[in-house]
Chains A and B, each alone.
Chain A
Amino acid sequence: SQQGEEDPQALSIQEGENATMNCSYKTSINNLQWYRQNSGRGLVHLILIRSNEREKHSGRLRVTLDTSKKSSSLLITASRAADTASYFCATLYYGQNFVFGPGTRLSVLP
């Protein structure tokens, strides 16, 4: 499979703590994107990081990319109950379509 694989599969933390999710992939990529999904509906785009970038920030989100290890991480700082969702990484596959991993289910407890 060429898909990205997120870990952990599930993560439960207290509000205010940081949450870190990881994504590993198998092929060379053009870019990697992180998405959030609430309640099994549409996915919301969070961050796109290109293969020549190592780190990107967006508000409380920080994404890193290590192409030598074929891995990426998503850090959510000072988590809130509203961050409870499933998080997916998507890798560009054969330059055409994106392949999604199975996701990490994050629960932020008040």
Chain B
Amino acid sequence: GAGVSQSPSNKVTEKGKDVELRCDPISGHTALYWYRQSLGQGLEFLIYFQGNSAPDKSGLPSDRFSAERTGGSVSTLTIQRTQQEDSAVYLCASSTGAGNTIYFGEGSWLTVV
């Protein structure tokens, strides 16, 4: 696609439910990043993929968070047993390789009620 595509754009879920957020990177981009941004705050790094492998998972805040990437393309971020503090914008970005310019999607707004 022309840019990084994320879905859903907005998601409201009940506390305790699981959610899946999807990211479709720019075609040909091997590196994929997930960040989280709470209202009015900076970006919090979650996880980085190079191809299908995740050399850096250090930012995942708890074991309720997991992410996978298949076929070197689409990635899914899964949050299990959501909590209210999980409410944030989840931003996905991709690049042609580590250290190169990263391009962001519009994000997925998650609200846990």
Please classify the interface of chain A as helix (H, G, I), strand (E, B), loop, or mixed, using the class held by over half of its residues.
Answer: strand
Chain A residue nearest in CB terms to B42: A102
- In the complex the two chains form, is A97's CB within 8 Å of B101's CB? no
Central interface residue in B35, B37, B42, B103, by most chain A CB within 10 Å: B42
Q: How many residues of B contact A (CB 8 A)?
A: 27
Contact of B42 among A30, A41, A97, A100 (CB under 8 A): A100
Q: Does A88 contact B56, Cβ atoms closer than 8 Å?
A: no
Query: B residues within 8 A CB of A103?
Result: 42
A residues within 8 A CB of B55?
A: 96
Interfacial residues of chain A within 27-55, with CB under 8 A of chain B in the complex: 30-31, 33, 35, 40-45, 48
Within 8 A of A (CB), among B57-99: 59, 89, 91, 93, 98-99
Which one, B37, B40, B89, B102, contacts A98 given CB within 8 A?
B102
Q: Which residue of A lies closest to B47 (CB)?
A: A97
**Complex contact A41–B107 (CB within 8 A):** yes
A102 / chain B contacts, CB cutoff of 8 Å: 41-42
CA distance A27 to B33 in the complex (A): 21
- Hey, which chain A residues are within 8 Å of B4, CB to CB? 42
CA distance A96 to B48 in the complex (A): 8
B interface footprint on A39-77 (CB within 8 Å = 1, 0 otherwise): 011111100100000000000000000000000000000
Binding site for B on A (CB under 8 A): 3, 30-31, 33, 35, 40-45, 48, 88, 90, 92-103
